[in-house]
Chains A and B, each alone.
Chain A
Amino acid sequence: MTQRLVLFLAALVAISPIFGVWLTELLGYHEPLDIAVELINEAADYTLLKDLSEEWRWTPFADYKVPGLPDWAGYIVSGFIGLITFFILYVIIKELYAKRTS
């Protein structure tokens, strides 16, 4: 990743709570898929399809939240966790290919 891209993505992450948290709370937001599934459930007249993610939690960072932090701060931290993860993945993949080549 170039330094310019990293700075650009970091800036986007820093402002992301405006869109991902504040406006979401202001306007009320559901994933488009959730709305489509609501329509499917309404057409069937009972709950055919149920999202089990509330019952199966395997990460402390579910829904881009961080325990102990307000939602907006958790959203920013999550963004940086994601960026760091992609950087780590890049290093791992590069190292793997370098070892294979050598």
Chain B
Amino acid sequence: MATTAVAPGQPTTKIGKAATEIDERLIVAGPLRRSLNKVFPDHWSFLLGEIALYSFVILLLSGTYLTFFFDASMSETVYQGAYAPLRGVEMSQAYESTLALSFDVRGGLLIRQIHHWAALLFVASIVVHLVRIFFTGAFRKPRETNWMIGVVLLVLALLMGVTGYSMPDDLLSGTGLRIISAILLSIPVIGTWAHWAVFDGDYVGDAIIGRFYIVHVLILPAIILALIVVHLLLLIKQKHTQFPGPGRTEHNVVGNRLFPAFAGKATALFFIVFGLCAALGGLVQINPIWLWGPYNPAQVSAGSQPDWYIGFLDGSTRLFPAWDINLPGDYTIPALFWPTVVVAGAMFTVLALYPQLERKLTGDTASHHLLQRPRDVPVRTSVGVMALTFYGVLWMSGGNDLIADKFDISLNAMTWVGRIGMIVVPPIAYMATYRICLGLQRHDREVLEHGIETGVIRRLPSGEFIEVHQPLGPVDEHGHGQLSYGGAPVPKKMNQVGGARRAIKGFFKPIEQVSDVELGSRREQRGLAAAEAERDQLTRSGRPSEGGRPSDGGRPQDPRD
């Protein structure tokens, strides 16, 4: 093309020209702009899922490094590596190569420990993310599918953990493997067949670590990766939920655009999560397999604990009574079957189906994009706390021998504490949570009706002392506020409604012009009318025709949209 004159709008810079070249081939400018303009709501709790995603990235990176050194073989060898106390000891290749990558690979121990810490963080962030989704009602229509994918991801993450920590073939992981073998055997009818299929024979055989390895490094990661992609695509398609607030409705998303604010924050979080894992991986020792020694079926160390996320199953197994069920024909359902296969199966099934259950029980079939505050749905919140308490008792019982040891309590007493506690404590937690939710709800309405307590005491001419209340909005003839509750936090301190001046910044000397800050705050004062208008909007569901939401507490809500 003869460059006689630049056509209007044609780029003149090098980068601009290159970008045009690319777009002429791929036509990506439109989709790219749409992505950059995508709005993400801003709340700290929306970052929990991101932490899980970033931990997974760290797991992939560190795990790939480890595969270059790990040898998933159970054939016997004699250790001759750098760690003198184990020299000359017979062990499996798997254990030997794990020792080698800890002691003979430069920086290998760091990567191994980063991998382990990232795995703990991965499961932990999934669980906390799930708890956030649950208590704010983000799983409701149209997001039930994504909830279910999330639960499947959690189960897969647990399996990743189990296959991962079983591979080094040290004494601790071998003990875990032995229990996995017993759990497989405990399944009625097909137990022995299942065991033979997984272990390729009787315990322990020589196939299991190789099999766990391929499951751990190929099959599970591939499934998890695919599900994460679907999880995120659904999130993008359905857009993120948001908490109710000024201008936020069921039909919009208020927040930051992807570029640059959200991208900056997300990248920052990735680096912080990675940094945290790296620091933990270097500074805090985890699973020092060289102290446990190679696996030996005749040995075990006291205080054997699995990684934290399996603790609840260890606890349920400790608590469940010795109830073998003997069936006619000399068949047995082992007691071990109930606290492991049945408890885990039931817990995850109920969890996965919870959105459908709630939908059936409340009859709420509407789509929801605005989140709920836990206090506004006391039944769900209490059910959630009850479930968490049950989980907590099981989890604590997974370490009841350590508690018994450290606090000098009888071990058998700790078992009974767990057995009684898992039945008695959850209902108490339910009731307490329910009362707390109602109390918080009432306080919100109290403040909306009577205003914020200012702490200023005034004496009336009659001699009566009263506390001055600051109304949040217009009042009726009795002095009662006319704002209705809109599902958003209600300011309860004077500082939250501009009762205090902003501090002037600068540590040793002020770096802001005092007059500017003064002007700014005066501008904010002028903006109070606008803020009040916003707050008025806050108390409606976004449709002016509806005139605000009724304060409907925990009752099932009518479909609003």
Q: Do A and B come from one complex?
A: no
